[in-house]
């Protein structure tokens, strides 16, 4: 479809924002390339979308779960058929290189088929009663209208993590994507429509956080909010949902670290750091922005990492020779450079990069040179705060215990990794690293959809996405007791067991 501002999908109809406002999406590799104009949604649009979702909810929740699962299966096949097309479009709108964009779509494919399989799995538990002739069972039930607010860095994968489980459970959706990737969200919604999602079950409203996002959080009739984004915004959403007694799932920031011990396979650890620190131009919640290296191998590892980093190819992700694309926009480019200046002021040494790349063939884009800081202490801001760009910091550690303490020494707890050939040290790290994800001899990025994903501390509020827990945030448990005795005698619980 043409992206001419008619990009809200409410109650099965494509329509403009009620106020007629629009915003544009730009190609971060070439800012002169305008993807299109999109509906700038405000409170009235959100109200209409929530009403459409509420109207569609009774019929959708009554549909047998295996039939809802069939819709997800069809969605998986559509994603498979259009994977390359969607990946190339992702490179254009979001900027990640084509190899990574294909992986983003593949996560959604995997999630569709994985969740569809739950459509014929047990959906509750039967337990024995302490009373004779009483049947006891508990099962999951949907909670109603779910508001889904997603970021731009995984514009197909993350919506699939949130939307597919909620749909399977019988909820209806109001989907507010990031304002940097509205076109991808539009295509994703078109695919759900093609897969057979009935009108009103999925509703798309495009716009920014202060207008559309806040209105969705506040909207009467929304039972739950699922949000992925910054810790600052997540705190605000969680507090507001708490006041409104709404279920809320927050997946927030990270300050992830890779520990490299002196018995590690340094070749493997080098590849792991390059992927974790600079993949997606460092714009991942799981990006490795701290590299904690044992003192005895620091010099060798530092020199090799700097050499490989400066050799990385940077440019438009549609050129498969390029390894790093742009950051998402100029505002983010400026933010990254501000943090680099902070690092210098704190006394850290720039070993590689440290500059925006806005000259020559890259001048129209939002490129930042992959950056490595040396001489970093664990308490510096660049070692404590999420930068969300291609910037990482080398930190020295005396031994494994020192490394673990440094790794744990931030407000975040999403993904931590250790490289070692010693099984005892590996298991020590698995037990003592404070994060929702722990990797041994693997990068901090690379979660699989059949395991729960999420963090601790200020990274999240306890909910997990994907895996067998995927429906926890969007379902309630209902306990049911059935007396099948033909007796007239009242049998009560607990007090009748004495």
Q: Of these residues, 241, 285, 366, 474, which one is catalytic?
A: 285
Q: How far apart are CA 133 and CA 449, in angstroms?
A: 41
- State the catalytic residue, choosing from 251, 323, 386, 465: 251
Residue 100 annotated among the catalytic residues of the structure: no
Distances (CA, A) of 255 to 29, 193, 334, 409: 26, 37, 20, 10
Q: Residue 14: in which H helix or E strand, if any? A: strand 13-15
Nearest-5° Cα angle at 87, 197 to 162: 40
DSSP assignment of 380-398 equals: SGGGTS---SSEEEEEEES
Taking the C-alpha atoms of residue 390 and residue 370, their distance in angstroms, rounded to an integer, is 5
Virtual CA dihedral for 99, 104, 109, 112, nearest 10 degrees? 170
Q: Are 105 and 156 in contact (CB under 8 A)?
A: yes
Beta partners for residue 439, in sequence order: 417
Question: 478: buried, middle or exposed (CB in 10 Å: 19+, 13-18, 0-12)?
Answer: exposed
Query: In this structure, are residues 55 and 145 in contact, taking their beta carbons and an 8 Å threshold?
Result: no
Tell me the C-alpha to C-alpha distance, in Å, between residue 206 and each of 24, 150, 173, 203: 11, 11, 14, 10
Which residues is 259 bridged to in the sheet? Answer: 292, 418
Euclidean distance between CA atoms 478 and 490, whole angstroms? 23
Q: Which of 63, 102, 28, 87 is nearest to 367 (CA)?
A: 28
Residue with tokens 């699939």: 160
Q: Quick check: is 349 catalytic?
A: no
Catalytic residues: 251, 285
């Amino acid at each position: 479809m043409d992206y001419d501002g008619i990009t809200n999908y409410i109650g099965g109809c494509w329509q403009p924002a009620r106020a007629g406002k629009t915003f544009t999406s730009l190609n971060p590799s070439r800012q002169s390339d305008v993807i299109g104009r999109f509906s700038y949604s405000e409170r009235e649009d959100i109200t209409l979308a929530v009403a459409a979702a509420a109207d569609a909810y009774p019929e959708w929740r009554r549909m047998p779960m295996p039939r809802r699962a069939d819709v997800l299966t069809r969605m998986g096949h559509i994603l498979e058929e259009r994977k390359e097309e969607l990946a190339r479009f992702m490179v254009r709108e979001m900027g990640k290189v084509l190899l990574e964009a294909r992986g983003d779509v593949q996560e959604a494919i995997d999630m569709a088929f994985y969740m569809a399989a739950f459509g014929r799995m047990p959906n509750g538990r039967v337990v024995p009663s302490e009373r004779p002739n009483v049947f006891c069972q508990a099962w999951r039930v949907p909670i109603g209208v779910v508001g889904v607010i997603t970021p731009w860095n995984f514009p197909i994968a993350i919506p699939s993590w949130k939307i597919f489980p909620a749909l399977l459970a019988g909820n209806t959706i109001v989907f507010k994507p990031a304002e940097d990737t509205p076109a991808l969200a539009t295509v994703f919604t078109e695919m759900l429509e093609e897969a057979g999602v009935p009108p009103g079950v999925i509703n798309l409203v495009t716009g920014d956080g202060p207008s559309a996002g806040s209105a969705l959080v506040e909207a009467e009739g929304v039972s739950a909010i699922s949000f992925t984004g910054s810790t600052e915004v997540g705190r605000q959403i969680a507090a507001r949902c708490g006041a409104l007694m709404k279920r809320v799932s927050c997946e927030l920031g990270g300050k992830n670290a890779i520990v490299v011990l002196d018995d590690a396979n340094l070749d493997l650890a080098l590849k792991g750091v390059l992927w974790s620190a600079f993949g997606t131009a460092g714009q991942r919640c799981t990006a490795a922005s701290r590299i904690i290296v044992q003192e005895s191998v620091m010099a060798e590892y530092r020199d090799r990492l700097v050499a490989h980093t400066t050799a990385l190819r940077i440019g438009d992700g549609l050129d498969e020779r390029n390894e790093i694309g742009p950051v998402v926009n100029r505002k983010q480019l400026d933010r990254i450079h501000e943090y680099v200046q902070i690092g210098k002021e704190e006394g850290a040494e720039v070993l590689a990069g440290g500059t925006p790349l806005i000259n020559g063939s890259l001048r129209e884009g939002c490129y930042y040179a992959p950056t490595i800081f040396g001489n970093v202490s664990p308490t510096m801001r660049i070692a404590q705060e999420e930068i969300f760009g291609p910037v990482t910091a080398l930190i020295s550690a005396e031994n494994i215990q020192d490394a673990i303490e440094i790794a744990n020494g931030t407000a975040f707890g999403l993904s931590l990794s250790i490289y070692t050939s010693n099984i005892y040290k590996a298991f020590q790290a698995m037990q003592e690293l404070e994060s929702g994800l722990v990797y041994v001899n693997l990068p901090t990025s690379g979660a699989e959809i059949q395991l729960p994903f999420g963090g601790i501390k200020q990274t999240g509020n306890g909910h997990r996405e994907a895996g067998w827990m995927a429906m926890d945030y969007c379902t309630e448990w209902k306990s049911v007791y059935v007396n099948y005795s033909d007796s007239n005698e009242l049998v009560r619980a607990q007090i009748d067991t004495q």
